[in-house]
Structure 1
Amino acid sequence: MTTLVSETGVGPLLRGWRERRRVSQLELAIRADSSARHISFIETGRSRPSEEMILRLAEHLDIPVREQNALLVAGGFAPRYSETSFDDPSMGAVREGLQQLLHGYEPYPAIIVDGTYNVVAANLGMTRLLDGVAEHLLTPPLNGMRITLHPEGLAPSIRNFREWRGHLLHQMERQMALARSEALRKVYEEVVAYPLPETGDDPEDGEAAPQSSHPFALPLVIEQNGRVLTFISSISTFNTPMDVTVAELAIETLLPADPATVDYLRSLTS
């Protein structure tokens, strides 16, 4: 995945991040132990920030590590963070730990995706949900958004599809606002153009899907083999990552939201 670097220099890039975070020059200066005048000079190009200052400002603006690399390059420095292939031998401990996590979550579904929602790994609980998904969507590289939102994917079996689709698209829009990823934007433009399947939650249909009884979180309500399964989604990421690949990994776990779903999933393992 390529990060686009602006030709206008590090100052405008930092200003863009500061405005995106809705932080004033004075507030950023206080956080970074600097002065509003210095921040202003950096943003307008009158002052060239050091590598240390770029990283300090990036930390206080909570800028993703891929974008921190872009800032450093724009400032005339080498990237700080590596981008190691997930299959690289040096990633062995990470892969093993994640596989243990997925296995330990059985029989409940869990999946690991990268920054463009390509599937890195999944457990058996997740693969069971893919019954009926078209074969072409299960050909590597698998993409979680395509599998979920495609009319030949999970979409027809999701009882609250319009709600869930809106949630996923909004999630991608937030990510695109944080990271200028052309690859992610292409995935978004593809999935947002998918035609809506005929599902029971269409308000124009005579019979709508049941409304959520979980006010604390939007559930994923999916019908499989004549059973209605209800899940709450949780997403985890790594703290203080020092590698771009690791920073962009996301672990999504689906927690059963009712006793019937728990009983059914447990029955599969017995």
Structure 2
Amino acid sequence: MQTHDAPLAPARIGILLREWRAARRLSQLDLALDAELSARHLSYIETGKAQPSREVLGRLAQALDMPLRERNALLVAAGYAPHYPESALGAPDMARIEQAIALMLRQQEPYPAFLLNRYWDIVAANGAALRLNRFLLDGRDSPHRNMLRHVFDPQDLRAVLVNHEEVASDLLGHLHALVASSPGDAKARALLDEVLAYPGVPPHWRRRQPGAAPAPLLSTVFRNNGQELRFFSTITTFGTPRDVTLDELHIESCFPLDEATAAFCQALARPE
């Protein structure tokens, strides 16, 4: 039995596909070719004249490189059940993944490592990250559990981040890209608005720079109490995830850029 909302589904699908095409800078013909559809068929889907099958939606989502959460949203908009599960960390199905994550965080000792979600919330961190944070904040606890807020808040790590402009600009570029590539993500948009409201944000940071390429290697330089610490970071993602939660997680591992930083981290890890 159809509900009164059923006729709205094709229109919603069309809106979503047009938003994602614009975000990916694809013409209707480009997307049709990538998804192995005729341009006419895609046009009919976008205008609500044709109801796409699950298989066609899967090909479109693949061609648009949509995150798993957004693929589920596309299916739901078409009246289908979501395809990808979303398991909370702590659920039995995620036990082995959690063990692997905990091992990777521990193996990074005595250097910092963080488990982050798509909004740069710090889901977990190793002991080195906590020790470094306490040193940089003179023993205070950070008011945030989010990497962007750490960097932009003058009451947080921003005050001791020597190359703040470089790091903040890079992170903001990633956030702008997330907002542009996920048009329906209200949480990402709200985070962008919040970050831009912090004092001292240059006007040109408020606009996305589509042609700007991310730095191949991002370094962070901290200075506190006469001690300068220099790190570079690597990002680990989970290949071919089949779960929404796992698709949105990554591990950021920090490595020392010089011997002085390495020695300080090693000393910080020793019991007092």
Q: State the TM-score, normalizing by the size of structure 1.
A: 0.83
* 1:46 aligned onto 2:49: yes
Distance in 2 (CA, whole Å) between partners of 1:241 and 1:218 is: 26
Q: Aligned with 2:176: secondary structure?
A: helix
Structure 1 residues 92 and 21, CA gap change in structure 2 (3 angstroms): same
Cα deviation digits, residues 5-59 of structure 1 (max 9, x gap):
9994112211221232122333333332221111121112111110110011101
Distance in 2 (CA, whole Å) between partners of 1:126 and 1:187 is: 23
Q: Aligned with 1:130: secondary structure?
A: helix
1:6–1:13 Cα contact (<8 Å) kept: no
Q: Which residue of 2 aligns with 1:227?
A: 227
Distance in 2 (CA, whole Å) between partners of 1:146 and 1:130 is: 14
2:24–2:181 Cα contact (<8 Å) kept: no
Q: Aligned with 1:240: secondary structure?
A: coil
Q: Which residue of 2 aligns with 1:242?
A: 242
Cα deviation digits, residues 133-163 of structure 1 (max 9, x gap):
753615xxx2222223211211100011122
Distance in 2 (CA, whole Å) between partners of 1:77 and 1:98 is: 33
2:73–2:82 Cα contact (<8 Å) kept: yes
Q: Kindly report which structure 2 residues correspond to 1:196-215, keeping only aligned pairs within 5 A, or say none.
A: 196=200
Structure 1 residues 113 and 216, CA gap change in structure 2 (3 angstroms): closer
Q: Which residue of 2 aligns with 1:103?
A: 106
* 1:114 aligned onto 2:117: yes
* 1:135 aligned onto 2:136: no
TM superposition shift of 1:185: 2.4
Structure 1 residues 224 and 6, CA gap change in structure 2 (3 angstroms): farther
Q: Aligned with 1:159: secondary structure?
A: coil
Q: Aligned with 2:109: secondary structure?
A: coil
Unaligned runs of 5+ in 2: 1-7, 202-214
Identity of aligned residues (%): 40
2:10–2:50 Cα contact (<8 Å) kept: no
Q: Which residue of 1 aligns with 2:208?
A: none
Structure 1 residues 6 and 108, CA gap change in structure 2 (3 angstroms): farther
Q: For residue 30 of structure 2, what is the amino acid of its counterpart?
A: E
Q: Which residue of 1 aligns with 2:199?
A: 195
Q: For residue 239 of structure 1, what is the amino acid of its counterpart?
A: G
Q: For residue 122 of structure 1, what is the amino acid of its counterpart?
A: A
Q: Aligned with 2:71: secondary structure?
A: helix
TM superposition shift of 1:75: 0.9
Q: Aligned with 1:230: secondary structure?
A: strand
Q: For residue 31 of structure 1, what is the amino acid of its counterpart?
A: D
Q: Which residue of 2 aligns with 1:256?
A: 256
* 1:17 aligned onto 2:25: no
TM superposition shift of 1:93: 0.9
Q: Which moved more, 1:107-116 or 1:124-133?
A: 124-133
Structure 1 residues 43 and 168, CA gap change in structure 2 (3 angstroms): same
Q: For residue 224 of structure 1, what is the amino acid of its counterpart?
A: N
For these two proteins, the number of residue pairs brought into alignment is 246
Q: Which residue of 2 aligns with 1:88?
A: 91
CA RMSD of aligned residues (A): 2.4
* 1:36 aligned onto 2:35: no
Distance in 2 (CA, whole Å) between partners of 1:147 and 1:129 is: 13
Distance in 2 (CA, whole Å) between partners of 1:153 and 1:262 is: 23
TM superposition shift of 1:64: 0.8
Which one has the bigger helix percentage? 2
Q: State the TM-score, normalizing by the size of structure 2.
A: 0.82
Q: For residue 128 of structure 1, what is the amino acid of its counterpart?
A: R
Q: For residue 252 of structure 1, what is the amino acid of its counterpart?
A: E
Structure 1 residues 148 and 28, CA gap change in structure 2 (3 angstroms): same
Q: Which residue of 2 aligns with 1:176?
A: 179
Cα deviation digits, residues 157-194 of structure 1 (max 9, x gap):
00111222222222211111122322232233223222
Q: For residue 148 of structure 2, what is the amino acid of its counterpart?
A: M
Q: For residue 189 of structure 1, what is the amino acid of its counterpart?
A: D
2:131–2:268 Cα contact (<8 Å) kept: no
Distance in 2 (CA, whole Å) between partners of 1:51 and 1:103 is: 41
Q: Aligned with 2:255: secondary structure?
A: strand
TM superposition shift of 1:70: 1.0
